[in-house]
Amino acid sequence: MAVALAANEKLEWAKCRLSLLHYLSNHIWIQDRIAQDVIRWQPWPHLKNLVALIQDWANQPIREPLFLIIFKSRQVGASTTVTAIANWMVGFFESSKVIMQSQRAREASEMLDRSRFINDHLPPFLRMKLLPDQQDVIGVPATNGLIRSLPSTEQTGRSTDVTMVICDEWEFHFDDPEKARDAFAAIKPTMAKGGLFIGVTTVDKNRKDSLPQEIYLGAKQGKNGFIPLFWDYFVVPGRTEATYQRDTQGLPDYRREAEYPRNEREAFSPPKQTGFFNHDVLARMIDECREPVETRYGGKVRIYIPSITTRKFILAIDPSEGQEDPSVGIISDAQTNEDCACFDGYIPLDEQAKIALELYRYYNEPLVIVERNASGLTLIEKMKNLGITNWFYSDKERRKEGWYTGAWGISRDRILIDLSEQIGLRQKRIPMKDCVLGLFDFAWIDGKPQAVKGRHDDWVMCEAIGYQAFKSMPKGNITFRSFQYKPR
């Protein structure tokens, strides 16, 4: 019997080494602090997705680096799962080294305690003998494995090869985004030989300039090699709106949105109570957004409502040099104020002018309103040289094409409040999801309406100046004869 049992143990050990999911599902026990119990790890779909990504990475004959960024709700099994993955790495593979990073030494030590708990509750034939076993490091002599917990500094992990790095609550490691970039720059080269990096965190609602949010946004756009995962409150089976109300009872709105987000929009937008635009209205608007019927210029131009020869339009542009800030242009119906087309992106001024000319011809020579900032003046001249003539003017003498803050005695705050009223009354229809998300990113900050740190105001300002042109339109049916700009 003993021999047969030893053979079974050997077979089970092999199964665990080959399959991370098998190891987790059959042998990992976790602490449920709320239920005050020790329970089995649960193979919830979002966790199985993570496991599959890591299994594919582990199975590669020659591993390529794998970078994962996870934004999540609380209590979705993330911390325990990534810790169990670390135990799997050092317990079954030779010479594995894992670094666990947290904001402070206390949190880092707690991560290592979680690793010990998991190991203590394995069956004897899987349990690792730990040596050393100290506050900030545990070793596994049988595999020459090592797990080290460290508080985050700009130098953590520099000049050391590592198999796996876990950044727990990564969003909160540094207050200074530059220090966060330095810290990641220190650790990233250690992954070059095929390591695994997992940044897992809840969101900090009070900032939009954090490195994790920057990486997540870039990953969603396919720009940086990270795989983005988002685990909202409802990823755990059995959760409903009723359980959400129960679990978040007594929390202020901003804490609910940060720690138990129900979707990405709720997680990454400014807190509802500081949002400049009504978030409940924006939530309904984003559900009404749709895909364009046509794209041009590699997706920079998107057509939602094609031109109709009997209608007139407005072309509003918030320009940029095409380097630091994106530019945005929006075509809207001059009678209904519904958006029909747009362009956006980091587009050079020459290309902005060419795109504007193409839309100008296609949409029946719309009334053009360009913000008269530094790049705007250059863009206006380029557009005039291309033959664009139907301009909104900021002066009665019709010498200053475009819009500048203070035109007609109207301040920046005033045009934003005008737009806010239109949004709140549902008198503005916007099919572009990116635009509505831009409205979510606008908030009252230091007593002024502005984009939160790490976001841009281009969509908002483009809609705001476009509405000023719409207000100047003649009332009633707009004919080609009445469409020319009239001073206020």
Choosing from 239, 268, 297, the residue where a domain stops is 268
Mean pLDDT for 145-173 is 82
pLDDT averaged over every residue in the chain: 88
Phi–psi pair at 23, nearest 5 degrees: -60, -50
**Domain shared by 7 and 124, yes or no:** yes
Query: pLDDT-derived band of residue 155, with 50, 70 and 90 as boundaries?
Result: low
Show the tokens assigned to 94. Answer: 């030779």
- The confidence score (pLDDT) of residue 478 equals 44
Residues 6+ apart with CB under 8 A from 131: 139, 140, 141
- The CATH number covering residue 34 comes to 3.40.50.300
**Domain shared by 201 and 332, yes or no:** no
**Domain shared by 292 and 249, yes or no:** no
Q: Is residue 477 part of a domain?
A: no
CA distances to 147, 167, 170, 192 from 162, rounded to whole Å, are: 10, 13, 18, 9
Q: Is 57 helix (H, G, I), strand (E, B) or coil?
A: helix
- The confidence score (pLDDT) of residue 408 equals 64
Does 146 score more than 60 pLDDT? yes
**Within the chain, how many helices (H) and strands (E) appear?**
16, 17
- Per residue in 243-283, pLDDT (tens digit) is 999 988 877 676 788 889 999 988 887 776 677 888 889 98
Choosing from 236, 268, 300, the residue where a domain stops is 268
Name which of 145-154, 163-172, 221-230, 404-413 the model is least confident about: 404-413
d(CA 198, CA 227): 10
Q: Is residue 167 part of a domain?
A: yes
Q: Is residue 275 part of a domain?
A: no
**Domain shared by 408 and 376, yes or no:** yes
**Domain shared by 318 and 449, yes or no:** yes
Is the separation of the CB atoms in 328 and 344 below 8 Å? yes
- The CATH number covering residue 398 comes to 3.30.420.240
d(CA 393, CA 395): 6
Does 1 score more than 60 pLDDT? no
Q: Is residue 443 part of a domain?
A: yes
Q: Is 145 helix (H, G, I), strand (E, B) or coil?
A: strand
Is the separation of the CB atoms in 319 and 348 below 8 Å? no
Q: Is residue 377 part of a domain?
A: yes
**Domain shared by 207 and 313, yes or no:** no
- The confidence score (pLDDT) of residue 206 equals 66
Using alpha carbons, select from 176, 227, 160, 242 the residue that is nearest to residue 197.
227
- The confidence score (pLDDT) of residue 486 equals 43
Identify which has the larger pLDDT, 354 or 31: 354
CB neighbours (10 Å) of residue 116? 16
CA distances to 292, 386, 414, 471 from 79, rounded to whole Å, are: 40, 58, 47, 53
Q: Is residue 486 part of a domain?
A: no
d(CA 370, CA 382): 12
Pairing of strands 226-231, 97-102: unpaired
**Domain shared by 264 and 366, yes or no:** no
- Selection from 187-191, 426-430, 478-482 with the highest mean pLDDT: 426-430
CA distances to 32, 219, 245, 329, 395 from 242, rounded to whole Å, are: 21, 33, 5, 42, 57
**Domain shared by 396 and 458, yes or no:** yes
Q: Is residue 483 part of a domain?
A: no
Q: Is 174 helix (H, G, I), strand (E, B) or coil?
A: coil
Residues 6+ apart with CB under 8 A from 339: 304, 330, 331, 332, 333, 428, 429, 430, 431, 432, 435
Identify which has the larger pLDDT, 475 or 34: 34
146 strand-pairing partners: 97, 139
- The confidence score (pLDDT) of residue 188 equals 84
Q: List, in sequence order, every beta strand (DSSP E) within 89-163.
A: 97-102, 137-140, 145-151
Is the separation of the CB atoms in 253 and 272 below 8 Å? yes
Show the tokens assigned to 397. Answer: 């003498």
- Per residue in 93-126, pLDDT (tens digit) is 999 999 999 887 778 788 899 999 999 999 999 9
> Where on the phi/psi map is residue 112: left (φ > 0), alpha (ψ -120 to 50), or beta?
alpha
pTM here is 0.65
Query: pLDDT-derived band of residue 164, with 50, 70 and 90 as boundaries?
Result: very high
| Helix %, strand %, coil % of the chain (to 5) | 40, 20, 40
Q: Is residue 279 part of a domain?
A: no
Q: Which domain holds residue 455?
A: 285-471
- Per residue in 432-468, pLDDT (tens digit) is 999 998 998 888 877 788 887 767 899 999 999 999 9
- The confidence score (pLDDT) of residue 482 equals 40
What does the longest C-alpha to C-alpha distance in the chain come to? 102
Mean pLDDT for 284-305 is 95
**Domain shared by 27 and 75, yes or no:** yes
Using alpha carbons, select from 190, 202, 271 the residue that is nearest to residue 232.
202
**Domain shared by 351 and 323, yes or no:** yes
Structural domains of the chain, count: 2
**Domain shared by 175 and 304, yes or no:** no
CB neighbours (10 Å) of residue 69? 26
- Per residue in 219-237, pLDDT (tens digit) is 998 889 999 999 999 999 9
**Domain shared by 441 and 351, yes or no:** yes
